[in-house]
Amino acid sequence: MALDVRMLTVGPVQENCFLLKRPDADTLLVVDPGDELPRILQAIESMEATVEAILLTHTHFDHVGAVAPLARETGAPVYCPELEVQVLANINDYMRFPGFGPFEDYEADHTVAGGETLSLAGLDIDVVFTPGHSPGHVTFVVPDELAMFSGDVLFQQSVGRTDLPGGDWPTLRASIQTLLDTYPDETRVHPGHMGVTTLGAERATNPFLQG
């Protein structure tokens, strides 16, 4: 079974929002709806499925800007990292970049901390605690489909920035190593920015992971 994954690059900082479903399913999941609600809703309609859940890797504004209106439009529950629920609930208080927003706050329906396995839209999803870019960051992995949704932890030939509040390079490096040690090189990495890659490609060539 090949996972049906759609990537929408949205908003002023080019964040990747992902829609994923089993090919034979009538429900789907949305990961990190950062902006451009009309485009996201159009993509959902094109996949001929309803949204079962909205999953958040972390709560920086570029990843959650469309969460509240998407949840309202679809009725889907939002799964938020446990350590960052207050950010989602008070998003404008945490805005550190002028010229963006305002955004609509949202009270998370469910929290995840890492270590859970979610069963949603016919998929079993590992939740991995991967702090370093943000304090509560999680990565979602569908191991049966070799698919990883890494948010701002690991990018194609790069890694998440660590100069924001709560960021820490040794912590981020350890989080990435956890992913490399746990999942096979063939795992496709769907990151929060830039293009899709694989764990093996990043292990071999990512300059931030060498040495």
pLDDT tens for each residue of 171-205? 999 999 999 999 999 999 999 999 999 999 999 99
Residue 1 confidence class, pLDDT cut points 50, 70, 90: low
Neighbours of 40 (CB within 10 A): 24
For residues 157-164, average pLDDT: 94
The domain segmentation of the chain, as residue ranges, is 4-209
Stated as kind and residue range, the H or E segment containing 69 is helix 67-74
- Residues facing residue 80 across a β-bridge: 111
> According to the model, what pLDDT value does residue 80 have?
98
CA–CA separation, 96 and 83 (whole Å): 19
3-class DSSP state for residue 94?
A: helix
Q: Return the DSSP state at 116.
A: -
E strand residue ranges, the chain: 4-10, 15-21, 27-31, 50-55, 78-81, 110-112, 117-120, 123-129, 138-142, 147-151, 154-155, 158-159, 188-191, 197-198
The answer to which of 11-25, 85-99, 149-163 has the lowest mean pLDDT is 85-99
* Confidence (pTM): 0.96
Q: Categorize the per-residue pLDDT at 96 as very low, low, confident or very high, splitting at 50, 70 and 90.
A: confident
Q: Which CATH superfamily is domain 4-209 in?
A: Ribonuclease Z/Hydroxyacylglutathione hydrolase-like (3.60.15.10)
Residue with tokens 């305002």: 102
44/29 Cα distance (integer angstroms):
9
Bridge partners of 129, per DSSP, are 138
